Structure 1
């Protein structure tokens, strides 16, 4: 005897499982809350099990529900794959994509990517995990994120790091700062002024310490942070200058901040896609990946970056 449930019931189950709320799930799939409850009841009756534990304050998956969730997700993804070959379905496709990304890439680059993606697939929800490079890697390995965008890979054979581009470090300063009118700035010149830096837990800090072993700052930084984006806020507030990856800088029309290339030496880092080897991307994630590549080729990452068509594995696992 066949099992009596359909695609709508599976979509309702996925929405409740992800959002932990019947109200939010009903809004996500554009139906009333009673209608969504009926779909869940229908699915549970068809399977002969309870999928959710319901209280007045929360909704959680039962043990059976947690086991069933990956299978339901796979069924929906397989259907999405089948629909990829059909024209004019973009506006009606549903789903979700979760991307883990270091903040220095997320702040100014990814909004353009997400905006383009949302225009193409308005009913696909995007979740962005902006965190350290270590956390990005962990999210990818655990399956919490479909893939990551970072500058650090891993020695682990299960991790694939495909380089998208190479970017250089630049001196971030206010437009009224003495360095702002220079065509280039040496690291020694940068350290003649008060500066802010990232702390020793940062992958950027490790990269810079290795590249600048022969450059000695005349004094400690006036402030240390864990996030490059926080450093830029401090620079904008007039607390000093900072060395940051070029992709972290706002556009050239920013009213306060500007950047100058750093030389002697030129320090670069590679930014790429971090994936778990052998795990295929869902259709929603694949389309997001394509949008990242298109945006990068369109020049939205700035003039101080260069494409690299290569794959590599980083030898260290460190945090952003």
Structure 2
């Protein structure tokens, strides 16, 4: 029987229970499944008791494992916090913040928050995955990233959603289009015009379709072009192929020589952007500090 254990043994134990999966935990920790199993076995030998029960249907803690989880989580947190403190004093720290973000937020908002965080913690690296809404939810759920910036609410039992802002859908058209001079338009004004929209499988389209389906007067829209990426729709608008409906955050944030944006109303349709986290999981100290900065910067913007 071993008299001690390693830090990675604790990480392995917590990852397995937080993800309820040996496979997902091995992927998260960059370990092979056999290596992960050896880590768990080594910890159990050091403790002198079985900590994890594994059946064909579920993975969960034993009674001893459940009792030891808070202690092991505290040990891991205190160690990682001490490493961050050393980094603050000029030491070299190689922690990494892993997050997934819908592309519009990743492009227009995330850079300035990362820049502010980097000024405080220059040795902490980032892995930012710009994914669609559904892909981003999966990445958070399976532990590939620690948290995400997404547009979908808490529609899954294994995820938590913290709203940060409302992003309205607007019309984008060329400056020589008849709508360009208008400050606002009702959705009904778009009837008969060839529209450029994102795929029906996208999160943005789902938000839009749900809102318009419940409108007092549902507009009869002609979705003539369908694209996978919002940036592609702007390219088609520039070419004069049609007009596009897209979130305001995805439109040019400065004066554009070719594209104008117009407010859409009757009804006003918005998507909610927020943070997505695994229910019951704990962020690493580096990710927790970045999350706090992200919330403060976003709500103050």
- TM-score under structure 1 length normalisation: 0.65
- Residues 252 and 152 of structure 1, relative CA distance in 2, 3 Å threshold: same
Q: CA deviation at 1:276?
A: 0.9
3-state SS, counterpart of residue 118 of structure 2:
helix
Per-residue Cα deviation, 1:264-315 (whole angstroms, up to 9, x for no partner)? 111112111111122111122112212322332342xxxxxxxxxxxxxxxx
Q: Match of 2:149?
A: 149
Q: Which whole-Å CA distance do the structure 2 matches of 1:126 and 1:205 have between them?
A: 29
Q: CA deviation at 1:168?
A: 1.2
- Residues 122 and 175 of structure 1, relative CA distance in 2, 3 Å threshold: farther
Q: Match of 2:132?
A: 132
Q: Which whole-Å CA distance do the structure 2 matches of 1:142 and 1:212 have between them?
A: 32
Q: Match of 1:203?
A: 203
Q: CA deviation at 1:82?
A: 2.5
Q: Which whole-Å CA distance do the structure 1 matches of 2:146 and 2:201 have between them?
A: 25
Pairing partner for 1:272 from 271, 274, 278: 274
Structure 1 position 182 matched with structure 2 position 182: yes
Structure 1 position 286 matched with structure 2 position 288: yes
Asked whether the equivalents of residues 187 and 219 of structure 2 are also in contact (C-alpha less than 8 Å), the reply is no
Q: Match of 2:220?
A: 217
Asked whether the equivalents of residues 171 and 190 of structure 1 are also in contact (C-alpha less than 8 Å), the reply is no
Q: CA deviation at 1:251?
A: 1.2
Correspondences of 1:1-320 after superposition (within 5 Å): 61-67=31-37, 78-84=78-84, 88-89=88-89, 92-213=92-213, 214-217=217-220, 220-299=222-301
How big is the alpha-carbon RMSD for the aligned residues of Structure 1 and Structure 2?
Answer: 3.3
Q: Which whole-Å CA distance do the structure 2 matches of 1:266 and 1:198 have between them?
A: 19
Between 161-170 and 80-89, report the one with greater CA deviation: 80-89
3-state SS, counterpart of residue 148 of structure 2:
strand
Q: CA deviation at 1:156?
A: 3.4
Between 142-151 and 237-246, report the one with greater CA deviation: 237-246
Across the two proteins, how many residue pairs are aligned to each other?
245
- Residues 254 and 122 of structure 1, relative CA distance in 2, 3 Å threshold: farther
Structure 2, gaps ≥5 residues long: 9-29, 43-72
- TM-score under structure 2 length normalisation: 0.69
Per-residue Cα deviation, 1:65-113 (whole angstroms, up to 9, x for no partner)? 4457899xx8876433124567944784431111112223223222333
- Residues 77 and 183 of structure 1, relative CA distance in 2, 3 Å threshold: same
- Residues 176 and 271 of structure 1, relative CA distance in 2, 3 Å threshold: same
Between 159-168 and 223-232, report the one with greater CA deviation: 223-232
- Residues 109 and 91 of structure 1, relative CA distance in 2, 3 Å threshold: farther
Q: Which whole-Å CA distance do the structure 2 matches of 1:62 and 1:209 have between them?
A: 43
- Residues 174 and 163 of structure 1, relative CA distance in 2, 3 Å threshold: same
Structure 1, gaps ≥5 residues long: 11-59, 300-320
Q: CA deviation at 1:120?
A: 2.9
Q: Which whole-Å CA distance do the structure 1 matches of 2:110 and 2:89 have between them?
A: 24
